[in-house]
Amino acid sequence: MNGGPAACAVLMVALCAALSCPTLRAESSQDSPNCLRTPAQAELLRHLSHQDERQRVVIERVNFVAYTGMPESSVQQLTSEIQRKEFYADRDWRVDVEDTVRGAWQDQGYFTATVEVIPEFILADTKGQRFSLTIRVQEGEQFRLGDLQIVNGGSEDRPTLRVRVDDTLKEVETRDANTNPAATDTVFPAEELRQAIPLKSGEVFSTRRIREGLEALKKLYGSKGYIDFTAAPQTDVDSEHQLINLRIELDLQAQYRVGAVEVTGADPKIENELKSILVPGEPFDTEKLRGFFKENAVRLPPDALQRRIDLRRDEKMATVDLVIDLRPCPTVDD
């Protein structure tokens, strides 16, 4: 195998970003519900933060050169995406463009693609600084997924369960058959873990689809109370055969169970429904709770999932107390 440290580092950043989505959280107040800002308040905050003074960068034209393998329809779609995005002159917006373009090529298997953005200033007007871009892409080889290994993480001196999975082989190995099963339990069957990754061996390697798989694993373990679960991807680039072998190391952390549940301001039906899915002593199912708030959005305050839940964890007991505040917000617009 031929390692590609720089390319691996790029993928690690891209894939690990998939696991940085917000966890369930809230900011609570004993005196009043955590309400959204009124339009007047939001406008005042925008004025005070001088957001209007930030000078925008407007991309007038995009010209891609040097590529050969990317479908023209994908290039046109990427051009539209770049022209729609908001860029500002007070930051290195060219890096944002490079990351966007590189990600698009990596989604098509061009794992080692390099991108150079050459801006040409056109003019500045009331809408911002206008530029034309020439984007040079050196694609390199198109890679496919080789071997996929899903490993229950742990230090080398601790027994772990290894699940090696591809499309024709499912194999379970333990370092010590006499160890405590709890220390080697993967929670889910190997087949279910494999199905969470929407990419088969031999298919074009796509960072987007791997990110989707990592997010699916996060949701899967979140449904069993593993609220601190992480999945760390590691790659081994086989340049000779244009394959990327992927190893995903799972770190379950502690399994949390539901402790006390307090619901304020909800009608009795909603309160009973919430408490029916938050049963003390049962694993804290984050996905079931998310699903409830999504399905009942019209019956609940705006942004309730992000702003109206206070999670109070007890690490020693591995429990989570929940305080859910659904009191209505003031209606005055001032």
Residue 278 falls within a domain, yes or no? yes
Are 228 and 177 members of one domain? yes
What confidence tens digit (pLDDT) does each residue in 180-233 have?
333 345 688 888 898 999 999 899 999 999 999 999 999 999 999 999 999 999
DSSP 84: H
Residue 174 falls within a domain, yes or no? yes
Are 242 and 169 members of one domain? yes
- At 127, the amino acid letter reads K
Are 134 and 13 members of one domain? yes
Residue 76 falls within a domain, yes or no? yes
Burial of 221 (0-12, 13-18, 19+ CB in 10 A): buried
Residues sharing a CB contact under 8 Å with residue 180, sequence separation 6 or more, in sequence order: 159
Neighbours of 80 (CB within 10 A): 11
Are 134 and 10 members of one domain? yes
Lowest-confidence segment of 113-117, 198-202, 258-262, 329-333 by average pLDDT: 329-333
Residue 184 falls within a domain, yes or no? yes
Are 120 and 106 members of one domain? yes
Are 9 and 110 members of one domain? yes
The H or E element containing residue 96 is: helix 93-106
Lowest-confidence segment of 85-94, 185-194, 199-208, 290-299 by average pLDDT: 185-194
* CATH number of the domain residue 184 falls in: 3.10.20.310
Residue 47 falls within a domain, yes or no? no
Neighbours of 233 (CB within 10 A): 21
- Give the domain-ending residue among 251, 286, 304: 251
141 with 68: CB under 8 angstroms?
A: no
Select the more confidently predicted residue: 7 or 126.
126
Q: How many domains does the chain have?
A: 3
Residue 332 falls within a domain, yes or no? no
What confidence tens digit (pLDDT) does each residue in 125-171 have?
888 999 999 999 999 999 999 999 988 875 444 444 454 455 544 44
Are 57 and 115 members of one domain? yes
Q: Once rounded to an integer, what is the mean pLDDT over residues 110-122?
A: 95
- Give the domain-ending residue among 106, 138, 170: 138
Parent domain of 102: 5-26+53-138
Are 174 and 240 members of one domain? yes
- CA atoms lying within 13 Å on the CB side of residue 115: 23
Rounded percentage of the chain residues whose pLDDT exceeds 90: 55
Residue 227 falls within a domain, yes or no? yes
CA angle 20, 21, 25 (to 5 degrees): 115
Count of residues making up the chain: 334
Are 178 and 132 members of one domain? no
CA end-to-end span of the chain, whole Å? 64
Q: Once rounded to an integer, what is the mean pLDDT over residues 102-111?
A: 94
* CATH number of the domain residue 316 falls in: 3.10.20
DSSP 34: -
Distance from C-alpha of 228 to C-alpha of 217, rounded to nearest angstrom: 12
Are 78 and 166 members of one domain? no
- Give the domain-ending residue among 187, 219, 251: 251
Are 301 and 221 members of one domain? no
Residue 261 falls within a domain, yes or no? yes
